[in-house]
Structure 1
Amino acid sequence: MIEQLEIRHLKTLDALYKFGNISSAAEYLNVSQQAISFQLKKIRVILNDRLFVRTGHGVTPTPYAKLIEPHIYKVLTHLNNIPLPGSIIPSKIEKTLVISATDYTQKVIIGALVKMLRASAPKVKIIVINIESVNLTKKMHQGEIDLAFTSDGYVPTGLISKTLFTEKYRCVSANRDITFDDSLPISKLIEYDFIITSPGTGSFKGSADVWFEQQGFRRNVVISVPSFFMMQEYLKQSNMVGFIPSRLLPYEGLFEIPLEKYPPGYTVVAAYHPNANSDPFMTWLLDEVSHLFSGKI
């Protein structure tokens, strides 16, 4: 049946259409005449038609072969037009790109990405949504989300992550009563109330709490907010302290508190579905994003 046809079968038929001669078709495909005859025999069985009959000067297509000729040509044309990863022309790509991102990556990454796309691929439209955690894999599999920017610890099973850079934390506050010499000891830092970010979960336990416990201390977290943007605003209006990614600083109204030690940073990644590996545009886009942030630690 039709589904048993292979690409090599289509190429054999195409060569026979072009040359009407088995030897010429074999030379064109760089195979032996016996190989052409063998392939034609298999195709005849699959399609239940002789397809080509011998004449005094070669072979001529049967009525059925003439009927399917434009379909064979169309399939091969589509196959030949499939772009290779390095062969796409970004300026001609027309599509909508849906990006799921944390508030941090929206500010640090997407601004630079939008600038690059407007210059290199102006026909690409972009939808940016807040980070999707619970259903990210499902939505990417269904094609609802193309790309996500987040930290490596929040990439769900079933997705691939591409490392972009490593971010460091800095301690900040608006409380000018906090005094220190060269740096503030951790033992003094924990005397102040903390605000943390906990996107989507609303927990009073943040990523730095394990680090504090390893130092032999426990901090007092009094406010949990879903984004660094809100955290910065609330810090400005209080005497609390908090950890902010270094790339979001400086921030008006807040000052940095140098510490003897800092909690470990985190790796920022681009997350995508394995299906994206077969998409030339996504391959190009991921390479461009990597180049934008290469060397940034």
Structure 2
Amino acid sequence: MIDKLEIHHLRILDALYKFGKLSAAAERLGVSQQAISLQLKKLRVLLHDPLFVRTGHGMAATPYAKVIEPHIHQVLAGISAIPLPDALAPDRIERTLAICATDYTQQVIVGPLIRDLRSAAPKVKIIVSGIEVHHLTQKMQQGEIDLTFTSDGYVPVGLVSEPLFVEQYRCVAADAAMLAGGVMALDRLVGYDFIITSPGIGSFKGSADAWFERQGLRRNVVMSAPSFFMALDYLKQSTMIGFIPTRLLPCDGLFDIPLEKYPPGYEVVAAYHPSANNDPFLRWLLGRVRLLLPA
């Protein structure tokens, strides 16, 4: 039944992924809530799955809906990237693009994007700034920042976010002796001192702490670094251990410590102000970003 899917079906799924509510999805697409509900019923029949189920906070994606989510986004991104005759000529566009990004997304996303833009849109000037924690929505509304690349948890209320990929963690340290014994058990792991990364505002509470608590364990965080790159440098000069995104590894001077299990990864997203949703250059740009992402 996949061949019976239409573009408007994909846009409805995309809106439900983003907002998790029929009313918000209807508002985004400019249709009635009843129309969204009717199309969702048709999609459930076509795909033989409930897709979204009601919860106390809206609509939650089913396991199958989560599996197909990146495929839906990829198809829509490909459609958005299709140029229309004389509608968009990137090589002739003259504008300034202001990007706000974490150190990690600057290396993984912004670096390859800049290299691509120098060829595809050479008249576009680019400003890259570190991640904004405060007033990001206001700055985007005022046009000071066009686009931000960050993790899903750092997107303020009022911005539109589009998932790009899910990043996973690895555990690294400078002490090769930690490799002795093969795969390290978690109860042994928490005996070491940890460094965490907390951009913007320093904190000794990291994203993995709740995961450790669910294992019945508590780790000892002794340092908070402002970026993953500084965390890598501090790890090289100490006996601490830390969780680092896989796309920043391997790293000279650090060893990958195999664990029996790892904390869940995080979703990397592109976010922008709703007023920029119909910006043809921005839509083209996000299409290029997805094409440039590493596998």
Check whether TM > 0.5. Answer: yes
Cα-to-partner distance string for 1:86-130 (whole Å, 9 max, x where unaligned): 420000000110000000001111111011101100000101000
Match of 1:159 in 2: 159
Letter in 2 for 1:174: A
Cα-to-partner distance string for 1:34-67 (whole Å, 9 max, x where unaligned): xxxxxxxxxxxxxxxxxxxxxxxxxxxxxxxxxx
Match of 1:252 in 2: 252
Q: Percent identity?
A: 64
Match of 1:229 in 2: 229
State the secondary structure of the residue aligned to 1:177: helix
Match of 2:131 in 1: 131
Give the Cα–Cα distance (whole angstroms) in 1 for the partners of residues 153 and 97 of structure 2.
Answer: 24
Q: CA RMSD in A?
A: 1.4
State the secondary structure of the residue aligned to 2:201: coil
Paired residues in the alignment total 212
Tell me, yes or no, if the aligned pair for 1:183 and 1:258 is still in contact at 8 Å: yes
Mean CA deviation greater in 102-111 or 85-94: 85-94
Give the Cα–Cα distance (whole angstroms) in 1 for the partners of residues 180 and 104 of structure 2.
Answer: 29
Give the Cα–Cα distance (whole angstroms) in 1 for the partners of residues 209 and 201 of structure 2.
Answer: 16
Match of 2:182 in 1: 182
Unaligned 5+ residue runs, structure 2? Answer: 1-81
State the secondary structure of the residue aligned to 2:277: helix
> Radius of gyration: which is bigger?
1
State the secondary structure of the residue aligned to 1:178: helix
Equivalent positions of 1:112-151 (< 5 A) are 112-151=112-151
TM-score by length of 2: 0.70
Letter in 2 for 1:288: R
Cα-to-partner distance string for 1:12-38 (whole Å, 9 max, x where unaligned): xxxxxxxxxxxxxxxxxxxxxxxxxxx
- Following superposition, the deviation at residue 175 of structure 1 comes to 1.4
State the secondary structure of the residue aligned to 1:127: strand
Letter in 1 for 2:154: Y
State the secondary structure of the residue aligned to 1:118: helix
Match of 1:271 in 2: 271
Match of 1:24 in 2: none
Tell me, yes or no, if the aligned pair for 1:91 and 1:120 is still in contact at 8 Å: yes
TM-score by length of 1: 0.69
Give the Cα–Cα distance (whole angstroms) in 1 for the partners of residues 110 and 167 of structure 2.
Answer: 16
Give the Cα–Cα distance (whole angstroms) in 1 for the partners of residues 216 and 158 of structure 2.
Answer: 37
Give the Cα–Cα distance (whole angstroms) in 2 for the partners of residues 120 and 85 of structure 1.
Answer: 13
Equivalent positions of 1:86-101 (< 5 A) are 86=84, 87-101=87-101
Tell me, yes or no, if the aligned pair for 1:276 and 1:283 is still in contact at 8 Å: no
Letter in 1 for 2:98: V
Give the Cα–Cα distance (whole angstroms) in 2 for the partners of residues 94 and 192 of structure 1.
Answer: 52
Match of 1:284 in 2: 284
Tell me, yes or no, if the aligned pair for 2:179 and 2:257 is still in contact at 8 Å: no
Tell me, yes or no, if the aligned pair for 1:137 and 1:156 is still in contact at 8 Å: yes
Letter in 2 for 1:156: P
